[in-house]
Structure 1
Amino acid sequence: MPTPIVIAHRGASGYLPEHTLPAKALAAGMGADYLEQDVVLTRDGVPIVLHDIHLDTVTDVAERFPGRARPDGRYYAIDFTLEEIRTLLVRERFSHKTGQPVFSKRFPHVASRFTLHTLAEEIAFVQGLNRSMSRTFGIYPEIKQPAFHRREGQDISAIVLRVLEESGYRSKEEACYLQCFDEPETERCRRELKCPLKIIQLLEEKDWKLLLAAPRRGDLDAALAKVAGYADGIGPPVSLLVSEFRADGTFAATELAAAAHHHGLVIHPWTLRRDELPKSVPSFDRQMEILFGELRVDGAFSDFPDLTRQWIDRRMA
């Protein structure tokens, strides 16, 4: 089995604010194999690297642009031009309702000057690191909420694929995975938009848990066969691979890992967090032992790429 890959989840987001270039540089220095880019669009149709379609959980948009929220009280990236978005300061993720940080022991909520950037800028940054560090860091873009963007008059998938092609990512041989939760849109990327890259179908927990239920096991095989027709792998939450972590250190695995590998699909689960372990998992190391050592996943998204890299190098390389 090839050595599993380490995918830096939004960069080294356990240490620096997510999706900032410093977080990506740190992840590269920590030995990540791939750096993730969540992608949304601005009002002028420019793909930027941001986890949500909203700006108000990682930036100071409410302070800089009061009155620009929609009726639901949220600030949407697609309502702002790239020029406006460049004026925002990025912070550690916080609740837009309370203003409190989601992870209280991570980077201070208001510190330093981090900013947002475009997908093209991040790709150029990663390719610069590839040159200066004499190695290849892969990119792992996610198309966020394509149906929302379509309702807003934007075809985010076509735009993202154009940027990737212009940046030199034109075949499965490139160090690039494209991912999306929207199954019809992921299939559209392969069939209609002719995406030549490796594709990962992200899995929604609520939908796939039904397929893992005992009375519907035949449906699981059919669903994975369908995914294998257009994708190269799956990105499930850990909860779809392990139904129970027990206090004695044992666990109950679902059928998903074995079934996915049977269909030739790689498995890249999300998300490994030292400061948010599943219930009854005694340590970050034990979680990685279960996923990499026992379930034999092919890689994983980690907020702490240094710890994941160290475990893999120590136990599997």
Structure 2
Amino acid sequence: MYVRPAAAAAAAFLGFTLTLLGGTASYAVAGPDSPTTARAAFGGPVVYAHRGASAYAPENTLESIDLAMQLGFDWVENDVQRTRDGELVVIHDDTLARTTDVEQVFPGRQPWRVKDFTAAEIARLDAGSWFGEEYGGARVPTLREYLHRVQRNQQRLLLEIKKPELYPGIEEQTLAVLEDAGWLDERHVTRRLVVQSFSADSVRIVHGLRPDLVTAFLGTPAVADLPRYAQFTDRINPWHTTISADWVAAVHGLLGAHGKAMEVDTWIVDDAATARKVQSMGVDGIITNAPDVVREAVGGY
């Protein structure tokens, strides 16, 4: 369990202060500009709240993205998978055991895979108590519920299609839900949404279906392979331990699928020293469980 009571209290206070001042700090700073434009204007990498403010609230819950908003971050990251009856839900693991009470509610149904449970069954689960008693009763949100909350919070979304090999057709289905929720209009597509995956095939499918969408590949391809990825994606998002300044420069030296310089958003960086290290490499964004720590270290937004 990753809980910092003092930090959480500070987060709540900061969120209250920001609310009194009239909204999230990051939205006020970045305004309607794209992440790249805002970074160029204000000099810091974009900070993405990984699974919400997941150092301080249970990951991928509505509570976690609400806390990210209160802390002043409008970019949140999530993970999308599919239930047995075809509902898209927001959860990281392909099993329910780590972040819910599924073993108590549904004993004997191990290994408790997401794809083996209906949406109604998953809605019964407690997705917060594992993190802290104060979050008891938090739920695994459907993607539709999650999008509604992100929209209400005036946030932006880095959406990960998780393990698409388990869910044939999930790319088309995700786009359909985004369309129904109003997330594929020009404003969202150009300013508020990025779709990523560890699967190059999945990213390629999304790009083929919606060439206007910004996409990202999760991984660290060899420099020689980067031009191939540039044909169907706009960003390469690597684990921070796998990159160097030269590698970042090589990515920046290529034009991505939309004819603009490719970007690098690295993960998962939760401490100040590492945040400053990757900033010095020239990354465009930092994906983090502790966005407040990273923002303080690098002056990001």
Q: Does the pair score TM above 0.5?
A: yes
Once residues 127 and 183 of structure 1 are traced to their aligned partners in structure 2, the CA distance between those partners, rounded to angstroms, is: 28
Match of 2:269 in 1: 272
Question: Displacement, 1:110?
Answer: 8.5
Alignment check: 8 A CA contact 1:40 1:53 kept: yes
2:60 corresponds to: 19
Partner of 2:237: 235
CA–CA separation in structure 1 for the residues paired with 2:87 and 2:180 = 14
1:156 pairs with 2:170: yes
1:255 alignment partner, SS class: helix
Is the 1:16–1:92 contact (alpha carbons within 8 Å) kept by the matching residues of 2? no
Q: Does 1:259 align with 2:241?
A: no
Structure 2 gaps, min length 5: 1-39, 255-260
Determine whether 1:201 maps to 2:217: yes
Say which structure is richer in helix: 2
Structure 2 SS opposite 1:225: helix
Bigger shift: residues 38-47 or 2-11: 2-11
Root mean square deviation of aligned Cα: 1.9
Partners of 1:110 and 1:80 lie apart in 2 by 26
Q: Where does residue 113 of structure 1 map in the other structure?
A: 137
TM-score, normalization: structure 2? 0.78
Give the match's secondary structure for 2:216: strand
Q: Which runs of 4+ in 1 moved over 4 A?
A: none
Q: Which residue number corresponds to residue 283 of structure 2?
A: 297
Distance 1:35 1:92, change over 3 A: farther
2:37 maps to 1:37? no
Asked if 1:144 is matched to 2:155, the reply is no
Using the TM superposition, give the Cα deviation of residue 17 of structure 1 relative to its aligned residue in structure 2, in angstroms: 1.0
Q: Classify 1:124/1:311 alpha carbon distance in 2 versus 1 (closer, same or farther; 3 Å).
A: same
Larger radius of gyration: 1
State the shift of 1:129 in Å: 1.4
Cα distance per residue 1:80-117 (max 9 Å; x no partner): 11111110001476xxxxxxxxxxxxx43785221111
2:34 counterpart residue number:
none
Gaps of 5+ in 1: 94-106, 131-136, 212-219, 242-252, 274-283
TM-score (norm 1): 0.74
Is 1:177 matched with 2:194? yes
Fraction of identical pairs, as percent: 31
Determine helix, strand or coil for the equivalent of 2:266.
coil
The answer (yes or no) to whether the contact 2:275–2:286 under 8 Å persists in 1 is no
- Partner amino acid, structure 2, of 1:257: V
Q: Is 1:146–1:156's contact at 8 Å kept on the other side of the alignment? A: yes
Alignment of 1:52-67 (within 5 A): 52-67=93-108
The number of equivalent residue pairs is 251
- Matched residue type, 2:275: M
Alignment CA distance shift 1:167-1:196 (3 Å): farther
Q: Do the aligned partners of 1:31 and 1:305 also contact (CA within 8 Å) in 2? A: no
